Structure 1
Amino acid sequence: MKKLFFLCVLIVVGCADENSLEKEISAIPIDVNITRFDQVFLSATPSDLPKLKEVYPLFFPSSIPDSTWVYTMRDPLQKELKQEIDITFADFSTVQRDIKSLLQHLEFYFPEYNPPKIVTVTTEDYRKKIILYQDMILIALNTYLGANHRYYEGIQNYIVQNFEKEMIPVDIATEFAYAQIRPSRDRSFLSKMIFHGKAHYIKTLLVPKASAAMQFGYTERQVNWAAENEAQIWTHFIEKELLYSTDNKLDARFLNLAPFSKFYLELDSESPGGIGRYIGYRIVDAYMKNNDVSLQELIGKSTEEIFNNSKYKPKK
């Protein structure tokens, strides 16, 4: 009974500390200025082009002739796109609030990072949802119209399931996190898992309110499957002697985003893609819980240091 009481006390204290930290972060003064370039361009006519090029030179490279922009402005599909964006983002205050929270967390954990300018745009490449460029964050709003939007027909489900506007802060955090970490010279499967694990750990700090499913780009069913089968996944990696393998084929099987991971077993169809990233995060999370290490120190730690001192052992 005493042990149970002690455990309950630890949980309550831990939650109190977490809430106190979040209150501290939410009080950080941050000005969020979002430039809606998507609205400006999609509402423009050819006569507005000279002024647009003057005000937004970055978005009008000299290599592209004016005739291309004029053709785009006159394209009826552009007007339709504006209508679809206006419908999805009729209330932009929620997005702005989430971005503000993200910037406050960036200021807390990475105080040397100057608050960036936020610019909303559109893109023809759905893989470029978020772009970090110099002192700006570019957000392609046409990639966040909802997983079931007709514009995304033909794109695989594991990709479009994350085309929801709630994913904007998570996707920004993802791009930022990977920009902070240098890939290790160690090309082992374990090293690559931990590389991704570091990025995911940073994301959990920057967008703590995002669900585990959102953090990994999974559905709730997929993240539950990963949690329930963690021990079996780890056992498989060990028994097949994959941890220190440098076989690049393991990237496609367990690290790259995909419909499912490839164990070459019947369970493949049930598994989410990139399951190695999930295991990598679990190792990094165990390391941080069992060692007194700052976030900045973690970023520079070697695979060997993290793995050996993580005491990682998933429960069966």
Structure 2
Amino acid sequence: MKKLLYLCVLILIGCADENTLEKEIAAIPIDVNVARFDQIFLNATPADLPELKKAYPIFFPSSVPDSTWVYTMNDPLQKELKTEIDAVFDDFAPVHRDIKSVLQHIEFYFPEYDPPKILTVTTEDYRKKVILYEDMFLIALNTYLGADHKYYEGIQKYISHTFEKEMIPVDIASEFAFSQVKSPRERTFLSKMIYYGKIQYIKSLLVPKASIAMQFGYTNRQADWAAVNEAQIWTYFIEKELLYSTNNKLDARFLNLAPFSKFYLELDNESPGGVGRYIGYQIVQAYMKNNDVSLRQMLGKPAEEIFNNSKYKPKK
């Protein structure tokens, strides 16, 4: 009974510390100006083109003639796209608050990073929903119209199920995290897992309110499967001697985004893709819990050192 009471006290203290930290981060003063270029462009006329090119030169490469932009402005499909975006983002305030929260967390954990500009755009490439370009985050709003939107017919469900506006802060955090973690020099499976584990750890700090499912791009059912089967996944990696393998085929099986991971077992169809990333995150999380190091120090540590000092042992 005393042990249970002690455990409850520890949990309450941990929650209090976390709430205090989040209140501190939420109080960081930061101005977030979101330039709705998607609206600006499609509300413009050909006569506005010279001013647009002057104000937003990044979107108007000199190799593209003005006639192309004029055609796009008048394209009925683009007008329809604007209508669809406006319907989903009729109230942009919640999205603005989410973006501000991510930037406040970036300011807290990476104070040396200058606050970026935020611009909303449209894109034809659904693989890059958010792009970090120089000092700007470009957010393609036409990739957040809802998983079942008609525009996404033909896109595989394991990709399109993340096309929800609630994923915008997660995708911003992901794009930023990739910019902060160096690619591993070693080509072992372990090094790659911990590389992605570092990225996922940064995401967990920048969007702490997002569920594990959202942070990994999983469905709730897939996230539950990964949690329940963590020990079995780890045992498989150990028994098959995969940790120090440099076989690039392991990327497609366990690291790349995919409809499922490939153990070559009956359970494959139940598994989410990229379970190696999930294990890498658990290792990094264990390392940070069991070692007195800063975030910046951890990011500079080699994979094997993180693994050896993590004391990682999934519960059976």
The TM-score, its normalising length taken from structure 1, stands at 0.99
> Is this contact kept in 2: 1:43–1:79, CA < 8 A?
no
In structure 2, the residue corresponding to 1:287 is in which secondary structure? helix
Aligned to 1:165: 165
Query: Does residue 69 of the first structure (1) align with residue 69 of the second (2)?
Result: yes
Aligned to 2:104: 104
Tell me the CA shift for residue 45 of structure 1.
2.1
In structure 2, the residue corresponding to 1:272 is in which secondary structure? coil
Aligned to 2:206: 206
Aligned to 1:120: 120
Query: Does residue 132 of the first structure (1) align with residue 132 of the second (2)?
Result: yes
> Is this contact kept in 2: 1:256–1:273, CA < 8 A?
yes
> Is this contact kept in 2: 1:147–1:162, CA < 8 A?
yes
Query: Does residue 145 of the first structure (1) align with residue 145 of the second (2)?
Result: yes
Mind listing any 5+ residue stretches in structure 2 that lack a counterpart?
A: none
Q: Identity over the aligned pairs, expressed in percent?
A: 78
Distance (Å, rounded) in 2 between the aligned partners of 1:13 and 1:305:
30
- What amino acid maps onto 1:245 in structure 2? S
Aligned to 1:39: 39
Aligned to 1:184: 184
Distance (Å, rounded) in 2 between the aligned partners of 1:184 and 1:116:
26
Tell me the CA shift for residue 42 of structure 1.
1.3
In structure 2, the residue corresponding to 1:87 is in which secondary structure? helix
How many residues matched? 316
Q: List per-residue Cα deviations over 1:74-95 (Å, max 9, x = no partner).
A: 1100110000000000010000
CA RMSD of aligned residues (A): 0.7
- What amino acid maps onto 1:59 in structure 2? F
> Is this contact kept in 2: 1:260–1:268, CA < 8 A?
yes
Distance (Å, rounded) in 2 between the aligned partners of 1:151 and 1:184:
37
- What amino acid maps onto 2:64 in structure 1? I
Aligned to 2:81: 81
Mind listing any 5+ residue stretches in structure 1 that lack a counterpart?
A: none
In structure 2, the residue corresponding to 1:35 is in which secondary structure? strand
Counting only pairs closer than 5 Å after superposition, residues 1-316 of structure 1 correspond to structure 2 as: 1-316=1-316
Distance (Å, rounded) in 1 between the aligned partners of 2:266 and 2:45:
56
> Is this contact kept in 2: 1:261–1:273, CA < 8 A?
yes
Tell me the CA shift for residue 54 of structure 1.
1.7
The TM-score, its normalising length taken from structure 2, stands at 0.99
Distance (Å, rounded) in 1 between the aligned partners of 2:51 and 2:6:
67
Distance (Å, rounded) in 1 between the aligned partners of 2:88 and 2:8:
43
Distance (Å, rounded) in 1 between the aligned partners of 2:255 and 2:65:
40
- What amino acid maps onto 1:72 in structure 2? T
Tell me the CA shift for residue 47 of structure 1.
2.2
Distance (Å, rounded) in 1 between the aligned partners of 2:47 and 2:28:
43
